[in-house]
Chains A and B, each alone.
Chain A
């Protein structure tokens, strides 16, 4: 399986964010680039949340995603959020424990978790989503310290195996932890 992105163009008002962007995603990759270069817009187009002005995307299949925001249901526990798209609760609890969740934190509603805990829950929701062929992970390490980032990166490498994955990050060290090929995006030149 691979995702074929061909000649994508996207403009917001007078500002062109993507111009004739082409990429083939086969397996995992890290997407890096300066702020405003269109990384998040590209992910939103792949998710079907934005319509490109021109170009095409094929082969994305069923998607699981980490958004820029955590987007957890605040009244549910981390495990409930992770299993919202389906999947095993036992696996969710096991992975949450592996990423540092204590027993008491497993019983808390998402609204009462710290930013880093919510981020880990949002990440596991994507990684454990049953049937997802494509993973789109937008800054999944936000709010995590170096130790947790390394643990999360290891979980991503293990659980994303065999799936087309686009991981957006500003964190070069985290990208290095993954050991995945890196694609660098450049902002569209205004001239």
Chain B
């Protein structure tokens, strides 16, 4: 299939304007002052009210720290398990059932179970960890499987030391698939982490704010918090992608000429 050409900035802006207009028209059509669907302007106004408050930033910090802690732990464990799984078949067989179970389980069921084991404050750590781990594990295992066998044979014939094999053959082989899984997992961990907070309602969390906005029927606040979550997820995914690209250049001795 032919690759779709990249959109020009004005085309992207036009598409964005079109959907904002659709959103505005729908909200105005539903009426009731944005009770069922807040307008873009109401959403931005609700966000502008929140932005200068300390409580807003506290909630952002609270949720970000916990969700990112879960993500970081999952990356470390996913790397270790992926490498061990590639080396020993019994590791792959052993961890396949729990990972399949986590993938199949609805977030809500998992959150309710997790609430029996951890405090609601740390719920998003556990939930983002468990939802990111299978993605990172699959990315690492896939990357190891994709590593160039011919280069590995060359390394064996030339008796290259392990450090060089890791840096120049294994890392460049694993990185593309690992990066893709990290970027996808960054979005997932926000969705699952905030969902957990909406159910567990830890104080000072984004999920708690979202829930409060819903029960008080302040729809513009629901939209504002949703926008915050989407923007945070997109910004952190982009930051993760940039950091991983830099790390690849530095770690794999990549030449950029």
- Taking beta carbons and an 8 Å cutoff, which residues of A are in contact with B? 47-49, 62-65, 67, 69, 71, 73-77, 80, 84-85, 107-109, 112, 125, 129
Contact = CB atoms under 8 A, between A and B. Distances in A.
Contact of B257 (A67, A73, A108, A129): A108
Contacts, number: 57
B96 interface: no
B156 interface: yes
B252 A48 contact: no
Interface of B: 150-151, 153-154, 156-160, 164, 168-169, 172, 252-255, 257
Given A75-B254, A75-B255, A84 B153 contact: no
Contacts of B157: 47-49, 63-65
B158 A67 contact: no
A88 B232 CA distance: 49
A81 to B, nearest CB: 9
Given A49-B153, A71-B150, A84-B164, A109 B158 contact: no
Given A49-B156, A64-B157, A85-B160, 12 more contacts: A48-B156, A49-B157, A67-B154, A71-B151, A71-B153, A71-B154, A75-B252, A84-B164, A85-B159, A108-B255, A108-B257, A129-B158
B158 A73 contact: no
A69 B172 contact: no
Given A84-B158, A85-B158, A73 B150 contact: no
A96 to B, nearest CB: 14
Contact of B158 (A49, A64, A77): A64
Contacts of A76: 168, 253-255
Contacts of B254: 75-76, 109
B156 A84 contact: no
A123 to B, nearest CB: 13
B169 A73 contact: yes
B253 A75 contact: yes
A57 to B, nearest CB: 14
A170 B4 CA distance: 44
Nearest to A111: B255
Contacts of A49: 153, 156-157
A47 B253 CA distance: 27
A148 B159 CA distance: 29
Contacts of B255: 75-77, 80, 107-109
A17 to B, nearest CB: 18
B171 to A, nearest CB: 10
B191 to A, nearest CB: 34
Contacts of B172: 73-75
Contacts of B154: 65, 67, 71
Contacts of B159: 62, 85
Nearest to A69: B150
A107 B172 CA distance: 19
Nearest to B249: A75
Contacts of B164: 84
Contacts of B150: 67, 69, 71
A65 B159 CA distance: 11
A107 B169 contact: no
B138 to A, nearest CB: 24
Contacts of A48: 156-157
Contacts of A71: 150-151, 153-154
A159 B168 CA distance: 26
B168 A73 contact: yes
